[in-house]
């Protein structure tokens, strides 16, 4: 008996978030069709619409679409439009309420006009709030800190589970983007066979590695498998060509376990490839697979080397959005001597 996929509920919005609608669908094509109808796009607009997530990730592959949870928000971007990412919306919101900071300054001036006794009383009144904020950070379960979970459309019961899922989503994103680019850039059937074999080995290894959900999980056993300390504090590791964050002591640190707002801000941080995925790793892998095909070296192609560059901390840095340099990392290149596994039998 063939199983029929049950439709999942999603949300669709135009590029400016001026209209948000719910749709139920089973495939990416179904989502595009129903989403365009809901948003009242005409045929010409629907033909060229691009679908992306709130963080700016383009969704072009049904395999990747199937990994996304129900109630995911999709942005429908028409040709010639620029969609607002979650970070840009957050930035615009902060900009819109900038007058509140001025108000805080005025209140601070009034505070220093009070007598010393009154100042101490106000500080004492605020102390329990500060201690409460710190204590909330250490809480983990939904029942202990429901405010952290309330805005989230998820059934997970702990902060660690949710943060692990977010890390896995990012790693899966790298896999599916790389898979799409490799498939688009190979035409020869024999070449495609080698690529598919590499992809199969990557997927198998990612399953063994739990898709690196440990990266954002503060309770992961090994520090080498996470970017945060045991309390959940993350610090920016700096631009690829600098080696450390120039702003670290004053600005670029965050604990998303503290509050829902901090978790949202953390979503704007990036995992940056030192050796770039699209500009360097993919062309180098294509070069290696061509050499393998021409020289009968398919069995010793070093898929694990490229796996480490794409998915592991050996080539990934956690960076604040300000420290994320999207320009070319020209001096960071793949090592051709690592394209193939060294063997005495050859």
Q: What single DSSP character describes residue 319?
A: E
Residues of the chain with pLDDT below 70 are 1-4, 83-134, 248-251, 343-346
Quote the pLDDT of residue 95: 45
Q: For residue 120, what are the CA distances in angstroms to 4, 40, 126, 127, 291?
A: 67, 59, 10, 11, 74
Quote the pLDDT of residue 84: 64
Measure the CA–CA gap between 36 and 320, rounded to whole angstroms: 34
In the chain the domains, ranked by start, together with CATH numbers, are: 8-86 (3.10.20.10), 159-338 (no CATH)
Q: For residue 253, what are the CA distances in angstroms to 101, 170, 227, 247?
A: 21, 20, 12, 9
Measure the CA–CA gap between 288 and 291, rounded to whole angstroms: 5
Quote the pLDDT of residue 284: 96
Distance of CA 124 to the CA centre of its chain: 40
Q: For residue 324, what are the CA distances in angstroms to 90, 269, 318, 329?
A: 18, 8, 9, 11
Measure the CA–CA gap between 284 and 273, rounded to whole angstroms: 15
Quote the pLDDT of residue 323: 87
Quote the pLDDT of residue 110: 52
What is the helix (H) or strand (E) element at residue 77, kind and residue range?
strand 73-77
Contact 334, 275 (CB under 8 A): yes
Quote the pLDDT of residue 86: 58
Contact 298, 285 (CB under 8 A): no
Quote the pLDDT of residue 103: 47
């Amino acid at each position: 008996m063939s199983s029929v996929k049950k439709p999942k509920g999603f949300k669709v919005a135009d590029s400016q978030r001026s209209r948000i609608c719910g749709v139920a669908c089973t495939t990416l094509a179904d989502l595009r069709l129903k989403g365009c109808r809901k948003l009242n796009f005409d045929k010409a607009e629907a033909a060229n619409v691009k679908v992306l997530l709130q963080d700016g990730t383009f969704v072009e592959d049904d395999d990747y679409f199937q990994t996304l949870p129900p109630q995911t928000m999709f942005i429908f971007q028409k040709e010639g439009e620029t969609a607002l990412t979650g970070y840009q919306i957050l930035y615009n919101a902060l900009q819109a309420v900038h007058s509140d900071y001025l108000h805080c300054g005025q209140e601070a001036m009034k505070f220093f006009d009070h007598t010393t006794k009154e100042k101490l009383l106000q500080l004492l009144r605020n102390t329990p709030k500060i201690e409460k904020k710190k204590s909330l950070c250490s809480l983990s379960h939904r029942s202990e800190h429901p405010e952290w979970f309330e805005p989230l459309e998820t059934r997970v019961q702990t902060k660690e589970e949710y943060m692990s899922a977010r890390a896995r989503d990012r790693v899966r994103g790298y896999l599916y983007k790389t898979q799409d680019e490799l498939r688009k850039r190979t035409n020869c059937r024999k070449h495609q066979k080698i690529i598919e074999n590499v992809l199969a080995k990557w997927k198998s290894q990612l399953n063994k590695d739990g898709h690196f959900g440990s990266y954002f999980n503060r309770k992961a056993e090994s520090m080498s498998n996470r970017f945060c300390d045991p309390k959940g504090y993350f610090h920016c590791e700096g631009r690829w060509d600098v080696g450390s964050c120039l702003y670290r002591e004053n600005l670029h640190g965050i604990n998303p376990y503290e509050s829902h707002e901090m978790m949202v801000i953390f979503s704007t941080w990036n995992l940056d490839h030192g050796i770039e995925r699209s500009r360097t790793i993919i062309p180098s892998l294509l070069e290696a697979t061509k050499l393998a095909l021409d020289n009968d070296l398919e069995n010793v192609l070093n898929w694990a080397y490229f796996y480490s560059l794409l998915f592991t901390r050996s080539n990934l840095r956690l960076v604040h959005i300000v420290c994320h340099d999207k320009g070319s990392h020209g001096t960071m290149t793949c090592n051709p001597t690592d394209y193939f596994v060294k063997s005495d039998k050859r």
